[in-house]
A and B are shown apart, each in its own frame.
Chain A
């Protein structure tokens, strides 16, 4: 029974050893709840559902995985649910930057230390976009214009990553922007195409289609190195041709966490099972496709390095939020 069920997963040699090891240790006894601390259709939700799809398609797990959206209070609801599921190995949560920003802006008490870090799946990039019909071809021209007159910057949500980046740009350049929050990246991109706003800091995947259609123009990417990628997206440019913001003279870096956490207090064997499962997920062709299309930064961390990264980012967000005046206590 057991052997027959796991047969499809035995295809690749590496998978086989992983599966065997997991069977000796621990494996889920009941359906697994996969919490998404954001609404349906957003980046985190999409990634969670891709993982769910890959797991069921490749038969990586014997129990079903159920995705549950808990978006209340900028995700606080979902994080609290995971925090309160102490010792329950059948709960996973996918996180985005709101793991750091929500406790600071809403005063709801939780942090990554209340969860069990399992694996950083990838980092999401941010790119500064302007309308292709705008006169700004380089970052320098854009900053010049922003200093001369107040430009309107659109972004997803309030007191979250997009606004934090906007504030960081303001601090680095001395220009000031009017930040206008919208509900999702797709909406922001269209508002920019329709010229209702002047610029955005969308994720690559949210704006790539408009770039290809020749309606948007990327100015720089908020990472320390250029985006991976070969070939061209438009007639003349590919992901690798977008300069980093630092190259272009703007010292701002920001990457968004896409990581998986478990409930607090689960055993090392259980953590081990999830790490191996997620490793197998990230080796599938579907996952690689997603990484390519979204021009994700495929840095992946587990264990101690992941914890160190989290501690560093937490401190950085605290500084950024403090400087921007986004720290609130319950309202």
Chain B
């Protein structure tokens, strides 16, 4: 096969010792970037991009894509240890990852997260290697109606999952949607809900809200129960890693399903965030015991992490073959390619074989190197939880403030973070679920945008969402997902009339 020989050439390029060194450096830097909230992969790459001009393009893209892998790995660390998602796609990881850490299973959760990331990325890279041209064709089929259908499916997978009062879940979700709507309306350019405030004009950034809602409120809540963090103290050795690995093959089907969801989302390109939510939602729907999700199930870590990493990896494919970035990070990488004189797009695979296959080979190697590095560091990460509360809490507060600030370089965002810290504290105590709020906030504006773009295309006719098999099929899948719990309830209700 032609692909194999090209890939081998690629490995020869990627395995040069200076490139290997760059990989390690990239992964370590990337993990650091992923750990610091606010300093996302996109920032990290953007900042380092100018410095890589001195390198040949292949080495430079290897360094940068390894930063990208590192950031994907690193995003899970703070989610699990402190309930602070460093990246949007790590939000779903907090749902079960943080409870696991509280139960003293931080090492298990971290190991599961890193391994899932690795598996997701690996499956995505294999797909890129062998079916790239087909997949690029598929991506072209996605216009606004299909995009909206995907968003609808993400929500449908999630709705009705939270325990407790449905009114509270509904209120939380609407609140999230409204927060997403603040700022400039992308379709008409009008300002909404800014009330003349220049600070509100930039919109309410997801990360600022999440840092407050999840991170700060967690600190406030743990203080209530005495000045310490829950569930540290477990002894962690590399043995934990091996024990967790022994457990993971049982979830083979989950890995595969989550990877497929991730690849699909990465290519379309909806991106890693909807992928992680959708995968978590589906895992929970398909589970025999859905109500135990959110209490520290390892599946709740595996599903979103696998999907997010598969999506993050496969998002590079439309970037390379179509010039459409599937994520902000990919957008910056795209800029880098142009600066190196490489024109991303359909011709790249034809004219720049060395470059493309060097990059693909580095995806394989980068992920292996990344996995080894982060797994070796698991005991250290988990040991952070043993640092006295007085020190770690202050440092978390500092890092949160820096994180909130760096998103938009705005001091107002730090204040906003504090406000959402209080809101999160109250909401948690009153059992308002935070997941619907965050989901609506993350996906809200893209959903509205694609809905309205589609209606512009159809001149106002809703039939456009069912006008072809693709968007119609996804919409239908969404409807099934949406009404799934109702079917269940209907059956139960018939059996036992209330």
**Residue positions of A touching B, CB distance < 8 A:** 39-41, 45-46, 49-50, 52-53, 56-57, 67-74, 76-77, 80, 105-106, 108, 150, 152, 157-160, 178-184, 186-187, 189-191, 193-194, 196-197, 205-206, 208-210, 212-213, 215, 286, 289-290, 293, 326, 328, 330-331
Complex alpha-carbon distance, A225 and B82, angstroms: 59
B258 to chain A, nearest CB (A): 26
Residues B409 and A70 in contact, CB atoms below 8 Å apart: yes
Residues B50 and A158 in contact, CB atoms below 8 Å apart: no
Residues B331 and A184 in contact, CB atoms below 8 Å apart: yes
Complex alpha-carbon distance, A180 and B459, angstroms: 11
Complex alpha-carbon distance, A213 and B349, angstroms: 11
Residues of A within 8 A of B339 (CB): 46, 49-50, 53, 286, 290
CB-nearest residue of chain B to A331:
B191
Q: Which of A40, A182, A187, A331 interacts with B194 by CB under 8 Å? A: A331
Residues A73 and B51 in contact, CB atoms below 8 Å apart: no
B147 to chain A, nearest CB (A): 10
Residue of B189, B202, B344 with most partner-chain A CB within 10 A: B189
Residues B50 and A210 in contact, CB atoms below 8 Å apart: no
A249 to chain B, nearest CB (A): 28
Q: Evaluate whether A73 and B201 lie within 8 angstroms (CB atoms) in the complex, with A46-B338, A331-B191 already known.
A: yes
**Other A-B pairs, 5, CB within 8 Å; known A40-B331, A76-B198, A80-B198:** A50-B339, A57-B53, A108-B201, A150-B459, A152-B457
Residues A180 and B184 in contact, CB atoms below 8 Å apart: no
Complex alpha-carbon distance, A330 and B335, angstroms: 33
Residues B140 and A72 in contact, CB atoms below 8 Å apart: no
Complex alpha-carbon distance, A70 and B47, angstroms: 15
**Residue positions of B touching A, CB distance < 8 A:** 42-43, 46-47, 49-51, 53-54, 139-144, 183-192, 194, 196, 198, 201-203, 318, 322-325, 328, 331-332, 334-335, 338-339, 341, 343-348, 408-410, 449, 453, 456-457, 459
Residues of B within 8 A of A46 (CB): 335, 338-339
Complex alpha-carbon distance, A71 and B323, angstroms: 22
Residues B203 and A72 in contact, CB atoms below 8 Å apart: yes
Q: Which of B189, B202, B408, B459 interacts with A105 by CB under 8 Å? A: B189
- CB-defined A-B contacts under 8 Å, sample of 28: A40-B43, A40-B46, A41-B328, A71-B202, A72-B201, A72-B202, A73-B202, A74-B184, A77-B201, A106-B184, A108-B198, A152-B457, A157-B189, A158-B185, A179-B456, A186-B322, A191-B143, A194-B142, A206-B323, A209-B347, A210-B323, A212-B346, A213-B345, A213-B346, A215-B346, A330-B196, A331-B190, A331-B191
Residues of B within 8 A of A190 (CB): 139-140, 318, 322-324
B96 to chain A, nearest CB (A): 31
Residues A56 and B189 in contact, CB atoms below 8 Å apart: no
Residues of A within 8 A of B43 (CB): 40
B34 to chain A, nearest CB (A): 17
Residues A208 and B343 in contact, CB atoms below 8 Å apart: yes
CB-nearest residue of chain A to B330:
A41
Residues A180 and B191 in contact, CB atoms below 8 Å apart: no
Complex alpha-carbon distance, A45 and B408, angstroms: 15
Residues A196 and B42 in contact, CB atoms below 8 Å apart: no
Residues B189 and A57 in contact, CB atoms below 8 Å apart: no
Residues A73 and B198 in contact, CB atoms below 8 Å apart: yes
Residues A41 and B332 in contact, CB atoms below 8 Å apart: yes
CB-nearest residue of chain A to B205:
A72
B460 to chain A, nearest CB (A): 10
Residues A209 and B348 in contact, CB atoms below 8 Å apart: yes
Residues A158 and B198 in contact, CB atoms below 8 Å apart: no
B475 to chain A, nearest CB (A): 17
Residues of B within 8 A of A179 (CB): 456
Complex alpha-carbon distance, A289 and B196, angstroms: 43
Residues B188 and A158 in contact, CB atoms below 8 Å apart: yes
Residues of B within 8 A of A182 (CB): 453
Residues of B within 8 A of A194 (CB): 140-143
Residues A209 and B323 in contact, CB atoms below 8 Å apart: yes
Q: Evaluate whether A210 and B338 lie within 8 angstroms (CB atoms) in the complex, with A106-B191, A157-B189, A182-B453 already known.
A: no
Residues of A within 8 A of B343 (CB): 208-209, 212, 293
CB-nearest residue of chain A to B42:
A40
Complex alpha-carbon distance, A194 and B188, angstroms: 24
Complex alpha-carbon distance, A133 and B395, angstroms: 58
Q: Evaluate whether A73 and B189 lie within 8 angstroms (CB atoms) in the complex, with A41-B332, A41-B334, A187-B324 already known.
A: no
Residues B348 and A181 in contact, CB atoms below 8 Å apart: no
Residues B323 and A186 in contact, CB atoms below 8 Å apart: yes
B54 to chain A, nearest CB (A): 6
Residues of B within 8 A of A210 (CB): 323, 345-346
Residues A286 and B332 in contact, CB atoms below 8 Å apart: no
Residues of B within 8 A of A74 (CB): 184, 189
Q: Evaluate whether A159 and B323 lie within 8 angstroms (CB atoms) in the complex, with A70-B409, A80-B198 already known.
A: no
Complex alpha-carbon distance, A193 and B142, angstroms: 11
Residues A212 and B457 in contact, CB atoms below 8 Å apart: no
Complex alpha-carbon distance, A113 and B440, angstroms: 41
Complex alpha-carbon distance, A106 and B258, angstroms: 43
Q: Which of B46, B141, B192 interacts with A67 by CB under 8 Å? A: B46
